[in-house]
Amino acid sequence: MPIGAWYGPSTAWLVACAIMPSIKTGAHMPIELGVYPTIQPDTALGQALVAFFDVLEPIFADGENGVFQVIVFGGCAVHVHTQARGSADVDAEVASHGYADKKEVIGLLDDDAYLFADEAGVSQILELDPGFNTTLGPLHEDYEDRVIRLVTQSGVDNVEVYIAGAMDVAISKLGRFGERDQSDIQALLRLPNVEVEEFERLAREAIDYYVGSHLPIKGNLNVVLDDYHNGG
């Protein structure tokens, strides 16, 4: 099977790729036209992430269904931001499916997987996991204002791929807060364009309207800040 190929979900190598199941209806585009920061996905995983959404060509290429926009969170977002993590575990929110039938969009994304080779030549697969939802963890309400557009975009017209901002990815990881999440947060906070004071402000605001219990999330935030200031 050629590298960079589409194939069904039965193959053994599985790397989870999640798309928010409750896709917004109508032609609303929450990511407004404008000038956004950009980042080049110049690793094998970053390039595969963009190509993954080429499967939507039958729906969006002719422009009749408007624009598809997706915002990537999770492990792939961490990797694109820092290149410090090799995981291809992707969580993403569909910000707009234009005028297309959401069931058709989900069907194309859910039925296929994308095969690529990492830098070591090992075959990996991007595949959908419909269980991801941005409400499962804390997230600032203005996260769409801080999205970053990938320099390399899908080869399909009207398909736009964005990465959630580093601080918003870090905030979203305060919920589960496993060891990997904690190391991811520290890597994100040490990026040159991230100010820890701004991260703390946004995180505390996000916690204030988080639907779950606030106490453990505040405790996780305190751990993050202590580790950061102590060189963790």
pLDDT, tens digit only, all 232 positions of the chain: 444 444 333 332 233 444 333 333 344 446 876 678 999 888 999 999 899 889 999 999 999 999 999 999 998 999 999 987 666 667 888 889 999 998 899 888 888 788 999 888 999 988 876 778 888 899 999 999 999 999 888 888 899 999 999 999 999 999 999 999 999 999 999 999 999 999 999 999 999 999 999 999 999 999 999 999 998 6
Q: Which domain holds residue 43?
A: 6-165
Is residue 52 assigned to a domain?
yes
Tell me which DSSP letter residue 151 carries.
S
Is residue 155 assigned to a domain?
yes
Please give the Cα distance from 114 to 168 (Å, whole number): 26
Residues sharing a CB contact under 8 Å with residue 230, sequence separation 6 or more, in sequence order: none
Is residue 24 assigned to a domain?
yes
State how many domains the chain has.
1
pTM of the model: 0.85
Is residue 98 assigned to a domain?
yes
DSSP assignment string, 13-56: --EEEEE-SSPPPSS--SS-SS---EE---SHHHHHHHHHGGGG
Is residue 128 assigned to a domain?
yes
Angle at which helices 214-229 and 179-189 cross, to 10°: 50
Is residue 158 assigned to a domain?
yes
Is residue 20 assigned to a domain?
yes
Is residue 190 assigned to a domain?
no
